[in-house]
Amino acid sequence: MKIFRTRPGDDIISLALLLCALLFCLPSTVTAEPRKPDPDGCLTCHSLPGLHWIDEDGMWRVASIDKSHYFSSLHGSVPCRDCHRKITDYPHKVENGYVDCSESCHVEEPSEGEAYTHKPIVDEFEESTHGKGWHKDFAGGNRFKELDESKLPSCRRCHDNALYISENKTTLFKESFAHTETECGTCHVGEVWLTQMGGHILRRFLGNRMNKNDSNELCLDCHNTPEYLKDIELEDSETGEKHKPDTRWLHAAESYQRMLHSRLLVVGVEDGASCVDCHAPQGLHHKILRDEDEQASTHPDNLPDTCSASGCHGYAKIDENKDFVLTDMHDTDLLAMTLFSKEEFNNFTKSVWAILSALTVPIIIVLAIGSLIWAFTGKNRGLIMAILGGEHFQVYMAGKKPSAKKRAKSTTARTPSRKSDSKPIRKNTTDSAETKESDND
């Protein structure tokens, strides 16, 4: 498959110019209202550095918010009370600050004019295997409570209030942003258009905020720590029965990291596959299901579609290649045994690998001990030959003369009746001496 590559900057500039050219055709100018990110005055206090205290659990709490980061963040246009909806008074009642990520906020989606909300993502998340994790009642003070109650991911475990333009795209954004004033500014006049809306539109051209490695980091934060996960209980999607995770599940991240899918991404090749590429390729990328679930993208019946998606393994859909998709992407045989816990190790001992190892290791040990003994005690000895075939090798391959014993045996075998022939006996003696000299050399 031939892959056409262009520099990301070229795409963005071309698209930006195209968009500006289209907008250039419009006869009138357009202005926009400035945003009011702190209409309630919350940042009057919360932007002060050093608003710290230690709560009754001993947790070092911080009420200060980095204001410049906040205004540059994903929620920089969202007034505080859109999330912390019930806070009206000071001192705040903790419950009044609880955040529900499925609520709508006062930021309007420009084309439809509808209030923006994360509800579709929350709905999808609730259907996933992680769905029983928290998605509401978030407050800084109940992080311990969440950790005590659930090991499942929640909105805030994976997402924080990241910068609107991620750091790795800042340079590209700035380069592209320079065009807004010259091209787009003909119609879209005013500072608000040039800064806020221009930024908003250009951000879309930069592509996904997170690359595959970034999204993997979110998954690996939990899945790469078997110690943290070993006590959780998995629920069978059909029977509802709960059971402890097996080795394959516990070390899924480790086995993934040993496969090409991961290793390509590690060296910066985006053709690798991230966790989400296989486990939640559809929709809003939050509907991760167990392999056993018939709806799961990783269910054996759905693997041809999943593997062939996004131009990865297009041939995976062909019947003749159906076995290809069954390649184990989380093969425990690739794992180092040092990763295993005692329980996992006990399970491992029942595998073919373990049985073969058990048979092989003693032999290796015996040979190793023999080698050691030889290294210390056997240096001054003469030539040592193999018990079986050693002399044969010396005579026919190394060109040495056969030993007297061998020669006698050979002669005896050929002429058993000539008992009085003394010549060979003398020669045998000489040969034997020559062999010894030769050996000593």
Partner 1 sequence: MIKSLRQITHSCSLRPLILSIAMSTALNAEPLYWDRVQQAQPDSEALQKSEKLVKEHKTLEIIKRTRIRPFHEQPKYDKPSKNAFCMSCHLPLPHTKNLRARTFLNMHTHYITCETCHFRPEDVNLDYRWFNYHERQLQSASSELFQVIEHHMLLPDANSKTMQSKPGKQIQATKKRDPNIKIAPFFNQQPVMLFKDSTQADSLLQQWQDDDLQQRTEVRAKIHAPLESKGPKCVACHDSDKQMLHLQQLGATQDQVKAITMHRIPLFFSRYKEKDQKIRIIDVLR
Q: Which of 70, 340 has the CB closer to partner 1?
A: 70
Figure out which of the listed residues 55, 149, 191, 233 binds partner 1, where binding follows CB under 8 A: 55
Figure out which of the listed residues 65, 229, 303, 325 binds partner 1, where binding follows CB under 8 A: 65
CA distance 218 to 143: 18
Figure out which of the listed residues 14, 22, 36, 351 binds partner 1, where binding follows CB under 8 A: 36
What's the min distance (Å) between Cβ of 37 and partner 1? 9
Nearest Cα to Cα of residue 330 among 247, 227, 210, 271: 247
Figure out which of the listed residues 1, 10, 60, 416 binds partner 1, where binding follows CB under 8 A: 60
What's the min distance (Å) between Cβ of 150 and partner 1? 11
For 318, the token pair is 């062909």
The label of the residue with tokens 């073969």 reads: 356
CA distance 206 to 173: 7
Q: Which of 59, 373 has the CB closer to partner 1?
A: 59
Q: Which of 80, 250 has the CB closer to partner 1?
A: 80
CA distance 309 to 352: 35
The label of the residue with tokens 């509802």 reads: 240
* Residues between 298 and 317 with contacts to partner 1, criterion CB under 8 A: none
What's the min distance (Å) between Cβ of 345 and partner 1? 26
User: Could you tell me if residue 310 is left (phi over 0), alpha (psi between -120 and 50 degrees) or otherwise beta?
Assistant: left
Figure out which of the listed residues 14, 24, 57, 295 binds partner 1, where binding follows CB under 8 A: 57
Q: Which of 43, 105 has the CB closer to partner 1?
A: 43
Cα distance from N-terminal residue to C-terminal residue, the chain:
64
Residues 6+ apart with CB under 8 A from 166: 209, 210, 214
Q: Which of 57, 246 has the CB closer to partner 1?
A: 57
- Amino acid symbol at 168: N
* Residues between 97 and 116 with contacts to partner 1, criterion CB under 8 A: none
Figure out which of the listed residues 3, 53, 167, 359 binds partner 1, where binding follows CB under 8 A: 53
Based on the shown chain and the rule CB under 8 A, indicate whether residue 39 belongs to the binding site for partner 1.
Answer: yes
Number of residues that bind partner 1 (CB under 8 A): 49
CA distance 385 to 387: 6
The label of the residue with tokens 């795209």 reads: 169
- Amino acid symbol at 240: G
Coil, strand, or helix at residue 188? strand
Neighbours of 368 (CB within 10 A): 10
Based on the shown chain and the rule CB under 8 A, indicate whether residue 85 belongs to the binding site for partner 1.
Answer: no
Q: Which of 80, 206 has the CB closer to partner 1?
A: 80
CA distance 3 to 193: 37
CA distance 140 to 46: 14
Residues 6+ apart with CB under 8 A from 172: 8, 9, 12, 206
Based on the shown chain and the rule CB under 8 A, indicate whether residue 38 belongs to the binding site for partner 1.
Answer: yes
Based on the shown chain and the rule CB under 8 A, indicate whether residue 220 belongs to the binding site for partner 1.
Answer: no
* Residues between 128 and 167 with contacts to partner 1, criterion CB under 8 A: 138, 140, 143-144, 146-147, 154, 156-157, 160-161
Figure out which of the listed residues 14, 31, 88, 327 binds partner 1, where binding follows CB under 8 A: 88
Q: Which residues bind to partner 1, rule: CB under 8 A?
A: 36, 38-45, 48-60, 62-67, 69-71, 73, 87-91, 138, 140, 143-144, 146-147, 154, 156-157, 160-161, 228
